[in-house]
Amino acid sequence: MSGSGAYEVLIDGQPMRCVDAVDRGFQYGDGTFTTITIREGVPLFWPLHLARLERDCRQLLIPFPGVEHLEPDVRTLCAAHPDGVLKIQITRGIGGRGYRLPEPQRVTRVLSIHPPPDYPSELREIGIEVRLCENRLGINPRLAGIKHMNRLEQILARAEWTDDAIREGIMLDTEGYVVEGTMSNLFLIKNGTLYTPKIDRCGVAGVMRSITIETALQHGMAVAESRITLEELFAADEVFLTNCVIETWPVRRFGHRTYGVGPITQEIDRWLRTKAENEQVAAFNG
């Protein structure tokens, strides 16, 4: 990512950069977040990100602040910084020491906009090299799918390598099944079918993951969510990764296995590019 800081930060609608030291997001990672690409002043797939935030808040028993509070903040930041990456964090707010939920709950919303990533654009054409992470994801169906603010598993996994030639790490759960990348969702293609790991026990149900599944189905492709083993991943015809910032990265090499950039991955990437281009205005302006 180009630069480490944010262009601008709004906390509960006010320009500032510091949350209270007793905010539960800081104290316990008690919150959820989403990350959105901003292109020409438009937050791509805004309705899906908004729905994900609301769903995750509901699952975490955090009062959702509502579109009437979030959307003005988003518009303010996007108008000032029309190209970048927007991060929206919603925490349970200020609370006393201990795990008991505060009464009443007054959520904190933090919106920060960051420079666009400096990933080489050709990665979508030539693919990337990935590695297998030693750190594994704990199984917890209660938190499965949620993009909560405790990312220690991913942080420790990403700390396993410093080689810039390796762009991503593949994470397994504690039973040895493939789940996702440290910052991405994973797809593989075998005999013309698109497979992706189930996110019912751990992992993040990414917005771009849902868009990819929906788009593939709209184009008549067979799609399956399943438990995927390492052996099945190595045996795949094609592999690619998604998130809302990178969009699509084909996997060129994983350990001893070389995949190349396959024709179905290229076709899916074209579908997703077209979807983003066609929907970016409608996504925010209706």
- CATH for 37: 3.30.470.10
> Do 129 and 269 fall into the same domain?
yes
List pLDDT tens digits, range 94-105. Answer: 987 889 999 889
Q: Which of 93, 114, 135 is the last residue of a domain?
A: 114
> Do 148 and 239 fall into the same domain?
yes
> Do 145 and 247 fall into the same domain?
yes
CB-count exposure of residue 237 (10 Å: 0-12, 13-18, 19+) = middle
Q: Is residue 284 part of a domain?
A: no
Tokens coding 163:
């080689």
- Residue 35 a catalytic site member: yes
> Do 62 and 87 fall into the same domain?
yes
> Do 196 and 270 fall into the same domain?
yes
Q: Which of 114, 133, 152 is the last residue of a domain?
A: 114
The active-site residue, picked from 35, 37, 182, 196, is 35
Helix (H, G, I), strand (E, B) or coil at 215: helix
Tokens coding 173:
């759960």
Radius of gyration of the chain (CA): 19
Cβ atoms 259, 238 nearer than 8 A: yes
> Do 262 and 178 fall into the same domain?
yes
Cβ atoms 172, 137 nearer than 8 A: yes
Q: pLDDT value at position 1?
A: 36
> Do 136 and 273 fall into the same domain?
yes
The active-site residue, picked from 91, 108, 180, 182, is 180
- The strand pairing partners of 47, in sequence order, are none
- Residue 87 a catalytic site member: no
* Range list of H helices, the chain: 24-28, 46-60, 67-80, 123-126, 152-158, 207-218, 230-234, 263-279, 282-285
**Cβ neighbours for 63, distance < 8 A, ≥ 6 positions apart:** 57, 105, 107
The active-site residue, picked from 147, 212, 238, 248, is 147
- Residue 196 a catalytic site member: no
> Do 106 and 133 fall into the same domain?
no
Cβ atoms 36, 89 nearer than 8 A: no
Q: Is residue 191 part of a domain?
A: yes
**Residue 166: domain span:** 123-279
**Cα-flanking dihedrals φ and ψ of residue 97, to 5°?**
-65, 140
Cβ atoms 58, 88 nearer than 8 A: no
Q: pLDDT value at position 111?
A: 97
Q: Is residue 157 part of a domain?
A: yes
Q: Is residue 250 part of a domain?
A: yes
Q: pLDDT value at position 95?
A: 86
The per-residue pLDDT string of the chain (286 residues; one tens digit each, 9 = 90 and over) reads: 334 577 999 999 999 999 999 999 999 999 999 999 999 999 999 999 999 999 999 999 999 999 999 999 999 999 999 999 999 999 999 987 889 999 889 999 999 999 988 899 899 999 999 999 999 999 999 999 999 999 999 999 999 999 999 999 999 999 999 999 999 999 999 999 999 999 999 999 999 999 999 999 999 999 999 999 999 999 999 999 999 999 999 999 999 999 989 999 999 999 999 998 876 656 455 5
Q: Is residue 3 part of a domain?
A: no
Q: Is residue 1 part of a domain?
A: no
> Do 267 and 131 fall into the same domain?
yes
Cβ atoms 184, 168 nearer than 8 A: yes
> Do 146 and 252 fall into the same domain?
yes
> Do 220 and 105 fall into the same domain?
no
- CATH for 228: 3.20.10.10
Cα–Cα separations (whole angstroms), residue 197 to 85, 181, 194: 26, 11, 10
> Do 128 and 110 fall into the same domain?
no
| Number of domains, the chain | 2
This prediction's pTM: 0.93
Tokens coding 183:
């910052």
Q: Which of 114, 135, 164 is the last residue of a domain?
A: 114
Q: pLDDT value at position 6?
A: 77
For residues 183-215, one letter each, b for 16 or more C-beta atoms within 10 angstroms of the residue's C-beta and e for the rest, the string is bbbbbbbbeeebbbbbbebbbbbbbbbbbbbeb
Q: Is residue 2 part of a domain?
A: no
Q: pLDDT value at position 19?
A: 94
Q: pLDDT value at position 60?
A: 97
Q: pLDDT value at position 2?
A: 39
Q: Is residue 285 part of a domain?
A: no
